[in-house]
Structure 1
Amino acid sequence: MRLSPSQLSVIKSGLDAIGREMAVNLRRSATSSIVREARDFSVALTDARGEVVAQAECIPIMTAGIALALRGIAARIDLASLTDDDALLMNDPYQGGQHLQDIYLLTPIFADGELIGFGASTAHHVDIGGSHAGLSAHATELYQEGLRLPLSRFSVSRDFNDPNGFVRQVIAANVRVPDAVIGDLQAQFAANATATRRLTELVARHGRDEVLQAMADVKDYAEKRVRSAIESIPDGTYHATETFDASPWDAGTAEIVAKVTVDGSTIDVDFSGTAGQIPGNVNCPFASTVSSVQSAVRCMLDSPDIGFNEGCNRPITVSAPSGSVLNPRPPAAVRARLTPASRVFNAVIRALGQALPERAVATGFDTTTAIAVSKSGEDGYQVALEILGGGWGACAEHGGPDGLDNPISNCANAPVEALETDFSHFRIAEYALVGDSGGDGTHAGGRGIRRTYVATADGVAVAGYADRHTVGAEGINGGAPGGTGNFAIHRADGTVTELPCVYEETLNSGDSIVITTGGGGGYGAPEREVSA
């Protein structure tokens, strides 16, 4: 079937609207602050093969990863036997997932008894078990990080909606805050139900064959647009190396080595020479590596209006040595996988900046600064999880934005009021930008932030991780590097203890932990006053 341009445009708008409505419904249905306020989730509509055809603008590393999580789904699940009471669940980093906290949920969508797609959602769950509430900073293998769920099929009515259902009970029994985790899973079901309802309405309005053809055509069109944009990049091989601090695991400074080859309408990214996997939680599953590359390439293309679907990824190939920090072997721990993933993003941006100097940008702080604040009491656990951003790098046109999560994460700032409404075991004493933390330059890098958590009870556990605590984000074209991050505990008796960039500690009432993030690199040599 061949659709007219107007038919394709109308149906494509309908598909895109499904993704946006899924995102709104998930956020408004969510229980935990990390999903509801920070918006650490993604949604997509896929075809029957699990290839993304439309999705909302949410978390880049998650959105690019949805298709990877579903790749080869037909080899593991008998698609012909699926019913509208079935769902698929997974969080396995070694089967296309990200890290254990990101649970993927897929529900099949049928038209006239035929499987035509899936509603897909993933959310970062506030706790998934493991050795420490919220996150296990010192884990050395995946088993210590929490509950691992291989891609599995289950009956929604029997195994989840029923309070005694097996899937519901297994998850609830292995997490510290079951109400929050089950509540967020129910929000994912709500988002997926939106996909089912809206896609079947679209089929009723335009016809099944027409919608299925449009789902194929939008991928082909996106591929065509991406290839055309890549063709405008000068052919060649471009190299960049980025580093992160692996000293908490006695691994010194770890290198991410990228070779980016542009050849006509294709881009190949090879990470040979990258550091080997690390005996800590800072390894990056290959799906996250691929997602980071895809996100970086899209940022550098001069076609910002290309809708994202699986067609966008066809011109891009990625390879990383097995056993490296970007393609670890199980059971390597992966909770902090965004640290090396961010350096993947930085390396590809820097390499393509050599080919496109007018689009080059200084490196941002681009570090996930995660903190879990938890308390166990007679009524169970309270677990707060936050993702804090820093300054972005400057470019030729403007300075770097202040206090934003890194580009491949894109979490929102959780309002202080929302956190203090949800939790009673801490309060926020300060939330401020850090002056002069952005690198100087013709355009300055963005500033980092400072956030102070004060324990309001004894026995408040805190854990977290970050990067760029020793070396700041690099400037470009003469711009200065951004400031570094810092963690410190201020005890109620006045004692101050500096923390490493990976930590697990306990606060008592009146103690506080101060989280400081760094700034982005500057662009261009700083303008100096000339004395008379």
Structure 2
Amino acid sequence: MTVDPITLNIVGTALAAIPREMAANLRRAAFSSVVREARDYAVALVDPRGNVVSQAEAIPIMTAGISHAIAAVLAEIDPAALTGDDAILYNDPFRGGQHLQDIYLFTPIFHEGTLAGFAASVAHHVDIGGGEPGLTIKAREVYQEGIRLPGRPFSVSRDWHGGFVEQLFRLNVRVPDLVVGDLNAQFAANNVAAERLRELVARHGHELTAAVMDELQDYAERRLRDSIAEIPDGDYTAEEIIDASTWGGDRHHVRVAVRVRGSDLEVDFTGTDPQVPANLNCPFASTVSSVQSAIRGLLRDKDIPFNEGCNRPIRVSAPYGSILNPAAPAAVRARLTPASRAFDAVIRALAEALPDRVVATGYDTTSAAALSYLDPHSHQYEVVLEVLGGGWGAGAAGDGADALDNPISNCASAPVEALEIDYSHFRVTEFALIPGSGGDGRNRGGLGFVRTYEATRDGVTFSAYSDRHRYGARGLFGGGDGATGGLEVTRSDGTVQRLSHIDAVTLAAGERVSLRTGGGGGYGPPAERPAVRREADLRDGLIVNEPVKETPQ
């Protein structure tokens, strides 16, 4: 069916609006701070064949993830047997999922008995079982990280709302009200999508709506191909590293070759190190999302709508059994670290071809921290998850941004006030930029920050994973490296203990943990930075006389 441009614009705009309304409702209905405040979720509208049609602007690492997850689910069930009362919960990292905390909810949408599409939502849940509250840093296999959900339909009316599936969650997570509350927020978001899509199909019919869905994907593919064609043909390579000191090594390597041929682009991670017996493995869907985010960030066309059409011009491969495509039962909780290095490697590889569009490497590390407490009287847990970033790399256009989550995660820092209203087992005593932490250069790297938590009760557990505690973010075209991050605990007797980048510690009341994030790399030679800008930085307290550089461990 041919769709005229006016109808395409009207119906296409309505389809694009559905995920935006879903996202707003999910956030407002969420219970946990990681969803409500940090906004660690994504939503999409999917056509009856499982192709993403429209997606809200949310977490980039989940951009391609929804496509991979629903494709894996639909390959193993009979869509014709679904009913309007069915729902599917899914989180398998080895078949299209990300890590276990990211739970997908897919619900079929019917109008007058015909499948019109699927509502899709995914949110990061604060606890999903496993060996430790919120974050099992010592996991060597996925079984230690929590519940794995197989992606099979269940009856919402029978198995949720106090039924078997809801009770399965309540009995296997430490903070059931938060987890079930956030899942209910996903149901609410999906219900909004169902209502809006049914209204649209009632107005325009199944055939026209389906035709618009197809054309939107073709349109996105055409625009993406036009933008890729502007990149000079060639083969480009790069390498990034991950700190491996926690496991007795030096570093893990992420290696990439980017091949551009006309409007086709191939990204090959051959040469990347094998998977490791730790939680530092990245499921392939996350690797694909990292590549998509890097490529789209480098294109001139900045508002290409994301849908399945965007996956067609870009081919991604990573060796099976590698850190970017692990085999089960690898642990995958800290998958954002290798995913970020994949993102960095693609951008560094294309620096030669696109020097005016690339940016220096940022801290690009999500410092994930969990603070948990088991009340000895009520026997109830308090668990909070923090998602924190650092300085971004500088580019040709200006300095790097300060104190932001890494580009593929894009979460917000939860406000201190919101945390202290919701949780009573700790307080935040410091949250400040670190002067001089950005790499020097013609344009300065963004600054990292320090965030200090003080336990208010005995027995508070702090666990975290991060990276770049030994090797800072690299500058580009002569720019300096960013400062490294760090973790340290101050005990009640005043002694200070330095922690590893993946570590855990138990605190007594009054003891503090300081989490320091690093800065981004500089762009261009420092000698080319105008004196007036350097003086302004010094006056504003953004730099010190000597750049901050941490001593490697």
Task: State the TM bucket, normalised to the shorter chain.
Answer: over 0.9
Structure 2 residue aligned with 1:57: 57
Structure 1 residue matching 2:326: 3-state secondary structure: coil
Q: CA RMSD in A?
A: 1.2
Match of 1:317 among 315, 326, 341: 315
Report the secondary structure of 1:288's partner residue. Answer: helix
Q: What amino acid is the match of 1:177?
A: V
Cα deviation digits, residues 270-304 of structure 1 (max 9, x gap): 11110111110000111111111111111111110
Matches within 5 A, 1:175-324: 175-324=173-322
Q: Secondary structure at the match of 1:318?
A: strand
Q: For the Cα contact (< 8 Å) 2:129–2:172, is it kept in 1?
A: yes
Tell me how far 1:206 sits from its aligned partner: 2.2
* Closer/same/farther in 2, CA of residues 307 and 530 from structure 1, 3 Å limit: closer
Deviations 1:92-135 (A, max 9, x none): 10111000000000000112211111000000000001111010
Q: Percent identity?
A: 60
Write the distance in 1 (CA, Å) between the matches of 2:520 and 2:194: 42
On the 8 A contact 2:87/2:105 being kept in 1, the answer is yes
Of residues 131, 156, 165, the one that matches 2:163 is 165
Q: Is 2:442–2:530's contact at 8 Å kept on the other side of the alignment?
A: no
**Preserved CA contact (<8 Å) 2:89 2:104:** yes
Q: Whole-Å Cα distance in 2 between the matches of residues 340 and 522 of structure 1?
A: 22
Counterpart CA distance in 2 for 1:529 and 1:48 is 54
Who is 2:70 aligned against? Answer: 70
Match of 2:536 in 1: none
User: How far did residue 527 of structure 1 move?
Assistant: 2.9
1:131-180 Cα distance to aligned partner (Å, 9 max, x none): 1101001111101111111111110011112xx41111111111000000
Instruction: Give 1:242 deviation, angstroms.
Output: 0.5
In structure 2, how many angstroms separate the alpha carbons of the residues matched to 1:236 and 1:370? 37
- Which amino acid in the other structure matches residue 178 of structure 2? A
Task: Write the distance in 2 (CA, Å) between the matches of 1:467 and 1:169.
Answer: 37
The one-letter amino acid paired with 2:190 is N
Pairing partner for 1:368 from 362, 366, 369: 366
Tell me how far apart the structure 2 counterparts of residues 385 and 440 of structure 1 sit (CA, whole Å).
Answer: 32
User: Is 1:130–1:147's contact at 8 Å kept on the other side of the alignment?
Assistant: yes
* Aligned match of 1:107: 107
Q: Which residue of 2 aligns with 1:505?
A: 505
Q: Which residue of 2 aligns with 1:393?
A: 393
- Point out where structure 1 has 5 or more consecutive residues left out of the alignment: none
Cα deviation, residue 62, structure 1: 1.0
Q: Which has the larger displacement, 70-79 or 83-92?
A: 70-79
CA distance in 1, matches of 2:268, 2:527: 38
Distance 1:347 1:453 in 2: 33
Note if contact 2:73-2:152 (Cα within 8 Å) is conserved in structure 1: no
Q: How far apart are residue 63 of structure 1 and its match?
A: 2.3
Matched residue, 2:338: 340
Match of 1:98 in 2: 98
Bigger mean CA deviation after superposition, 519-528 or 375-384: 519-528
8 Å contact kept, 2:443–2:529: no
Distance 1:282 1:93 in 2: 13
Could you tell me which amino acid in structure 2 is paired with residue 353 of structure 1? A
Aligned residue in 1 for 2:124: 124
In structure 2, distance between residues paired with 1:342 and 1:262: 21
Q: Distance in 1 between matches of 2:530 and 2:190?
A: 62
Contact 1:43 1:63 in 2 (8 A): no
Distance 1:193 1:530 in 2: 55
Preserved contact between residue 68 and residue 97 of structure 2 (Cα < 8 Å): yes
Q: Residues of 1 paired with 2:305 and 2:66: CA distance?
A: 15
Distance 1:53 1:392 in 2: 31
1:384 to partner: Cα distance: 0.7
**Alpha-carbon distance, 1:530 to partner:** 11
Deviation at 1:208, TM superposition (A): 2.0
Aligned residue for 1:81? 81
Q: Which amino acid aligns with 1:339?
A: T
Equivalence for 2:538: none
For 1:485, the equivalent position in structure 2 comes to 485
Q: Could you tell me whether the CA contact under 8 Å between 2:72 and 2:96 is conserved in 1?
A: no
How many angstroms apart in 1 are the aligned matches of 2:115 and 2:203?
Answer: 18
Distance 1:530 1:333, change over 3 A: closer
What is the Cα deviation at residue 308 of structure 1?
A: 0.5
Asked if 2 retains the 8 angstrom alpha-carbon contact of 1:64 and 1:295, the reply is no
Q: Distance in 2 between matches of 1:254 and 1:486?
A: 19
The answer to whether the Cα contact below 8 Å between 1:391 and 1:518 also exists between their aligned partners in 2 is: yes
What amino acid is aligned across from residue 372 of structure 2 in structure 1? S
Equivalent residue, structure 1, for 2:543: none
| Aligned AA (1:402) | D
Structure 1 residue 419: Cα displacement: 0.1
Give the counterpart letter for 2:26 in structure 1: L
Q: Distance in 2 between matches of 1:279 and 1:530?
A: 48
Q: Which moved more, 1:365-374 or 1:519-528?
A: 519-528
Letter in 2 for 1:365: Y
3-state SS of paired residue (1:261): strand
Match of 1:272, SS?
Answer: coil
Per the TM alignment, residue 360 of structure 1 is displaced from its structure 2 partner at its CA by 1.9
3-state DSSP of counterpart to 2:450: strand
Provide TM-score, normalisation by structure 1: 0.98
Shift of residue 87, structure 1, vs aligned partner: 0.5
Partner of 1:461, secondary structure, is strand
8 Å Cα contact 1:354/1:360 also seen in 2: no
**CA–CA distance in structure 2, aligned partners of residues 133 and 387 of structure 1:** 15
Correspondent of 1:355 among 353, 361, 370? 353
- The yes-or-no answer on 1:463 pairing with 2:463 is yes
In structure 1, distance between residues paired with 2:529 and 2:285: 49
Deviations 1:158-207 (A, max 9, x none): 1112xx41111111111000000000000000000010011111112222
**CA distance in structure 2 between the partners assigned to 1:63 and 1:325 by the alignment:** 20
* C-alpha spacing 1:255/1:203, structure 2 compared with 1 (3 Å): same
Alpha-carbon distance in structure 2 between the residues aligned to 1:490 and 1:320: 42
State the TM-score, normalized to the length of structure 2. Answer: 0.94
Query: SS at the partner of 1:523?
Result: coil
The AA in structure 1 aligned to 2:278 is G
Q: How many residues align?
A: 529
SS in 2 for 1:38: coil
2:360·2:393 contact (CA, 8 Å) conserved in 1?
Answer: yes
Deviation at 1:251, TM superposition (A): 3.5
Could you tell me whether the CA contact under 8 Å between 1:49 and 1:73 is conserved in 2?
Answer: no
